[in-house]
Structure formats: C-alpha cells, structure tokens
A = this chain, B = another copy of it.
C-alpha cells in the first residue's frame, strides 16, 4: 500500500513548551507516508524545560511542507518579534496545504499575518490577544477555519493532532492511532479550564502568569503594528 508523502514541519524556537509539539509529533509520526521534520531558525539543538532536542533542521533548508505546525510556549513573545524566524514561518506557510498551531503558536501565526478574519484557538490565558492580529478568538479546544487548524493550550495538541490525522488520513486511521496511544484520558481533577478550576487554583496560575502578561501584551502589540 503506497502512500503519497506528507511532509509535516514543526517550526520551533527558544522557549517552546515541549509537550505542545511532542504530543502532536507522537500522533503525526504514525500517519502513513508522513515525514516529520522539527526545525528551528539556526538548526542544531534547543533545550525546553530541561529536555534537549538535537538534530533540528534549519528552517531555511526546508523548501516546502504540506503542513506547518507552530507550537506555543513562554518564548512566543520573543519569537513573534524575531523577524528572521517570522520570515521563515511566512515563507513555509505559503507552501503548506494546512497552517496549524498549538497553544500560543496561534499568536505567531497571527503575527505572520496568517489569521486575518480567521477563527483560531489559543491557550486560555492568552486567547484575548488574537484580535490584535485580526483573528477571532475561539474558546474551542480545536478550531478549524478553512485550511487553518489550531489547538488550545499545551495538551490540546493531542486532540488537535488526532483531528488533523482524521483530515489527512481518514477517521479510521486517526482512531487506530488513538487506540495505540490509549488516548482515553481520565484527568484526576476538573481543573483544566479556568471555567472549571477551583477559584484559588485559577488565582495561583494567574498570579504566576501575571508577571509576564504585560511583556507579552507589549510584544504582541509590537508584532501587530507590523501587519
């Protein structure tokens, strides 16, 4: 059974949350015919939360892809104002059939001018910055608008990737991957969304994020001014 090649590219940058891309990567690498490349501006290696990923391609070496996926993370603010990185994201998105992101990766898509008038998902804490880029913030866990498919925060990347798998390889293949990965989640708490988390838990998380909220807002406004 021969499958046409399907080239998937993860565009990485310093400060990615590793699960944003390792989750979808685990799904995508099991798609028939998939060639999955992880690349960054400089290639080589990047360390996220103490885990070092090496053998990364240079984005400039990647000619084209069928799907580009931009993960999120604390580094999003810097990445969306890294003009060389953003130029590669724009170039490669122009070659892709599917333009995708997980978590705050959608802010990078937005800063690249790829979300004008589009609905998109984002991590709940940063979703309200999407309109700066002309996008419509959608609280759904996975959002599809034309050829743009975006996932919410971090772990939404697994739901996102299975949705993409169904799109490119059919629902049966997506379900087979889900079964092989035993993806029948049972979170020990109902705390995964601000609407369901206990108030004191939300306060703790918001206090932690608050330190970076102003800087990220300024970074997003700076990037948006370039559109």
Interface residues of A (CB under 8 A from B): 17-19, 22-23, 25-26, 29, 36, 38, 45, 47, 49-55, 103, 123-124, 141-142, 152-156, 158-159, 162-163, 166, 171-172, 174-176, 178-189, 191-194, 196-198, 200-202, 204-205, 208-209
Contacts and interface: CB of A to CB of B under 8 A. Distances in A.
A188 B198 CA distance: 26
Given A172-B201, A187-B178, A196-B184, A26 B158 contact: no
A184 B171 CA distance: 22
Nearest to A36: B50
Given A50-B29, A53-B52, A197 B185 contact: no
A179 B191 contact: yes
A100 B219 CA distance: 41
A155 B19 contact: no
Contact of A197 (B179, B189, B192): B179
A150 to B, nearest CB: 13
B18 A22 contact: yes
Give the one of A54, A153, A155, A193 with max B CB within 10 A: A155
20 contacts: A26-B49, A29-B50, A45-B54, A124-B182, A153-B180, A154-B180, A155-B184, A155-B185, A159-B187, A166-B188, A175-B201, A176-B201, A176-B208, A178-B187, A179-B193, A179-B194, A179-B202, A184-B196, A185-B187, A185-B192
Contacts of A201: 172, 175-176, 179
Contacts of A180: 153-154, 205, 208-209
A181 B154 contact: yes
Contacts of A50: 25, 29, 36, 38
Contact of A189 (B19, B141, B171, B202): B171
A189 B161 CA distance: 12
